[in-house]
Copies of this chain bind each other. A is one copy, B any other.
Amino acid sequence: MTNWPYNTPGIPDSMFIRGKVPMTKEEIRAVSISKLRILEKDIILDIGAGTGSLSIEASLQAKKGQVYSIERKEEGINLIKENIKKFNVCNIKPIKGIAPIDLENISTVDKAILGGSGGKMREIIIWLSKNLNKNGRIVINTITIENLYKAMKYLKENNFKDIELTQIGVSKGKDLANLTMLKANNPIYIISADKGR
């Protein structure tokens, strides 16, 4: 895969520079980005951006837009910068900080993806209910049943529409003495919603 073209949607996990930071797997990335329904000029917020893998994929769809990647850890910010460089994208801006308190310089956004809430699910959803543009969309990825419960609850309370829950279980083939076993990834909950009008 040496000459795999970097600026194409559908980047395999192995292409990202990752360190030890947990990364959204490629199938979940594909579905999450798909559910954002990104337009070319969208302003996108990636909260808890980690390695920046979702930001990179989003930036390939929002070619004339802008992606803000919020991440609290120095290690993550550095990985995001390295991946920006590797994939040669110019519309991602990494922001070291915690959502929503460090979002003060961002006015409104079209799409938001929440990969890590840092215990601030309620505050983030309230902030987004105010700062998402008309036709704005939110996609939340979570692996815990408590954050799943809270995401559903706070989205309803803050008048988000078309709230959709998707649980995805991915298993990958793995060679086992010339046979193919299935190796399971942990199931992920993807919650998507439209901003209420």
For A165, the closest partner residue in chain B by CB is: B173
Residues of A within 8 A of B (CB-CB), count = 52
Q: Are A34 and B30 in contact (CB under 8 A)?
A: yes
Q: Which residues of B contact A36 (CB under 8 A)?
A: 10
Residue of A27, A164, A172 contacting most chain B CB atoms (<10 Å): A27
A21 to chain B, nearest CB (A): 16
Is A107 among interface residues, defined by CB-CB distance under 8 A? no
List A138-160 residues whose CB lies under 8 Å from chain B: 143-149, 152
Query: Contact at A168–B38, with CB atoms within 8 Å?
Result: no
- Decide: B9 and A179 in contact? CB cutoff 8 A: no
A190 to chain B, nearest CB (A): 8
Nearest chain B CB to A178's CB is how many angstroms away?
8
Query: How far is A89 from B113 in the complex, measured between Cα atoms in Å?
Result: 28
How many copies of this chain sit in the oligomeric assembly? Answer: 4
Which residues of chain B have C-beta atoms less than 8 A from A144's C-beta? 176, 179-181
**Cβ of A1 under 8 Å from chain B:** yes
Q: How far is the CB of A195 from chain B (nearest CB, A)?
A: 13
Q: Mark A1-27, 1 if CB is under 8 A from B, else 0.
A: 101110011100000000000000011
- Asked if B27 contacts A166 (CB within 8 A), the reply is yes
> Does A37 make an interface contact (CB < 8 A)?
yes
| Contact indicator A185/B184 (Cβ below 8 Å) | yes
Query: How distant is the Cα of A43 from the Cα of B37 in the complex, in angstroms?
Result: 24
Which of these, B35, B135, B162, B173, contacts A164 with CB under 8 Å? B173
Additional pairs, 13, CB under 8 Å, beyond known A146-B149, A148-B149: A5-B37, A9-B34, A10-B33, A10-B35, A10-B36, A26-B34, A144-B181, A145-B148, A145-B165, A164-B172, A167-B182, A167-B187, A168-B169
